[in-house]
Structure 1
């Protein structure tokens, strides 16, 4: 039950982030904003989550996990409600920052709790269960959100999501036990923070997860426009990318998690990262093909990206002791959010536009993604696991 509750929490926080992207045309039409303004509204969530993650690294380990989770998730629910009530672009942008601050740290704390309560030899499978939330958000959440936005308005998905956080909060209070007392006093925090930020093992881990995250987000933001402008999909066919890919990753992530526990997380990560790199090059070089072929390639990409994230996050929870894990995962979350933003920016710098509006040099973005992936494979060999359960 604990893993189920944590997965539902992840589902709501991930959906809150995902639902913005396919609603772009409606926001631009209703709010009369430019693509650049919409892009900023999307990115402010990640920026806010990154800043909050850095701050949480200083204080999160002073609080008992369950109490911290309930507080953060309540803040996320309030932030989502503010998004639903926002009357303008400016107020929605501020509300997205609030939701991002609480949602980002909530996600990091969920992973820290998995690391606390699940033994290392079963942590890969547990991460697979929790990360299934991303697949379900893609398969169920995004289509439902789009349908509500189309029938009513862009406010509707946020009202539904805000309402859903209430029973999830009570479920968390009922099924998540008290997990850890505060382990650091105020006088102990400075040495803890110094270790958290400056320990070579931690720095290698942060760089590792930044490379893993950046490898995906150099490519991901530009998949939809490339599919429409270069490959030949219509905008009406784009939801199938989420639906089919999400269904496949539901099964693949659990399979990868079990394989990571059986064969070793590092070994499975290397295989998944190499496979994902190959698919990245295929996707970013894809010519005009029938829709089923295009959706098949994007599905392979999603399976590869999510497949390497499962063992990567299991490894991240294993490089620190339990008493440091909350702050460590908070900083890790911040690193991931900043890495996703930077990688997206780098990817955009690589792209060009043809005379008919088609995207050019996407294959260069693929090379950037592969270079990040290969670097993460090399760095994964430098990580040191700590067994504390």
Structure 2
């Protein structure tokens, strides 16, 4: 198969990732505006994110068995249409239950879109370019945080809480039209390919190891990502008006490191990049252990950059685990693992942390847990790459020995 130019192909998927992530990220910052308009307590807004995640987990679980039977492009287009319509429908919400139902639907339709998109990246990109390709695709996350969320906050201030949802839905619609015209067609695995299911995937040792590595990485990150701002304000005394600068610098660092990390993965392999990235994550997470000689900005940038590099490296490395006929199912399964890991991390964080005298307590144990789990990521990744596991990171699974 003749490969299309990498920048053109990856651009569409990066834009799709941008819209998907922006839709997810913007709700919490918009929370006070949405809660006031729909007349529910702001502390209940977390249920909307939970509903979104539940929808994504449900659809991801269902998609494992069928997504590789369908061409990638129609799955992305129809999924994006339903995703955009669900986002648009949020502007008609009148109360919290309606909002929860619509956010569950948005997550449900969005999950398979991302799985098909990531599978398409692997379909259209040779292994030697996947680090660079994943870096460009995952740049959509950083751009959504750096540019998208602040823009949506300002739009909500000027035009009301519903305007951001309408704009994101419109962006999704424009992207659907553009991709229908210009995104290359990619084929499904075919009717004669072996059946793919959650069970058939998880019976393979490398797939289980890949899920473990991905789960550990997301669990470690989301133990502390949601509480960074509160910790900096209450425990480190960072002024409120400096938080914006903190996140802007951290986001820019993550964006740049994603591109550099992807480039390095293609040249020196994912293992070394993951080890270096884990070191940066550990330095950043050490802020939670107590007094540090490093300033908060440097600690935050180290964490954000290390986490970004680790995410790109793992995305490129784990893309080599599935065979071609199960790439979509594997991506859907990986998405389910990510969502469950984030949910468990949020639960653990809420159990460990408390507020006392306007300070967070339990931060030492939370930071220690995040560091310990982070250090386990390269260890399990090395086991996945070991010859006894079939060298599952060295290339597509069809070129490796049979079940390992």
Give the structure-2-normalised TM-score.
0.89
What is aligned with 2:374? 373
Deviations 1:148-174 (A, max 9, x none): 112222211111111111111111112
Q: Paired residue for 1:255?
A: 260
* Deviation of the 1:178 alpha carbon: 1.5
Q: Aligned-pair distance for 1:182?
A: 4.4
Once residues 229 and 111 of structure 2 are traced to their aligned partners in structure 1, the CA distance between those partners, rounded to angstroms, is: 24
Partner SS state of residue 160, structure 2 = coil
> Which has the larger displacement, 55-64 or 173-182?
173-182
Residue number in structure 1 paired with 2:229: 224
Mapped contact 1:231–1:287 kept (Cα < 8 A): no
Question: Conserved in 2, the CA contact under 8 Å of 1:53 and 1:331?
Answer: yes
In structure 1, C-alpha distance between the alignment counterparts of 2:355 and 2:293, rounded to whole Å = 20
**Residue in structure 2 matching 1:92, options 61, 86, 99:** 99
CA distance in 2, matches of 1:104, 1:194: 19
Q: Do 2:61 and 2:198's aligned partners in 1 also have CA atoms closer than 8 Å?
A: no
Secondary structure at 1:359 match in 2 = strand
Match of 1:183 in 2: 190
Gaps of 5+ in 1: none
- Aligned counterparts of 2:37 and 2:240: Cα–Cα separation in 1: 19
Quick one: which of 143, 156, 179 aligns to 1:149? 156
Aligned residue number for residue 307 of structure 1? 309
5 Å-filtered alignment, 1:119-198, equals 119-184=126-191, 188-189=194-195, 193-198=198-203
C-alpha distance in 1 between matches for 2:33 and 2:292: 27
1:229-378 matched pairs, under 5 angstroms: 229-282=234-287, 284-285=288-289, 293-355=295-357, 357-378=358-379
Change in CA separation of 1:27 and 1:229 when aligned onto 2, cut-off 3 Å: farther
**Matched residue SS, 1:58:** coil
User: How far is 1:183 from its partner?
Assistant: 2.0
Alignment deviations for residues 158-201 of structure 1 (CA, whole Å, 9 cap, x no partner)? 1111111111111111222211134246x953x65542232121
Which position in structure 1 is the counterpart of 2:76? Answer: 69
Equivalences, count:
383
How many angstroms does 1:30 deviate by? 3.7
Single out whichever of 98-107 and 256-265 deviates more from structure 2.
98-107
For residues 131 and 203 of structure 1, what CA distance do their matches in structure 2 show? 23
The 3-state SS of whatever aligns with 2:45 is: helix
Partner of 2:389: none
C-alpha separation in 2, matches of 1:125 and 1:11 = 17
Q: SS at 2:186's partner residue?
A: coil
1:3-33 per-position Cα deviation (integer Å, ceiling 9, x unaligned): 0111000000001111012223333444443
TM-score, normalization by structure 1:
0.92
Match of 2:30 among 10, 23, 26: 23
- Structure 2 CA distance for partners of 1:303 and 1:33, relative to 1, 3 Å: same
* Higher RCO (C-alpha 8 Å, min separation 6): 1
Q: CA deviation at 1:230?
A: 2.1
State the SS of the aligned residue for 2:235.
helix
> What secondary structure is seen at the aligned counterpart in 2 of 1:171?
helix
| Partners of 1:369 and 1:140 in 2: CA distance | 28
Between stretches 148-157 and 125-134, larger displacement belongs to: 148-157
**Which one of 122, 125, 139 corresponds to residue 118 of structure 1?**
125
Q: Deviations over 1:292-345 (max 9, x none)?
A: x43343222211111100010111111111111001100110110111111111
The 10-residue stretch of structure 1 (371-380 or 2-11) with the greater mean CA deviation from structure 2: 371-380
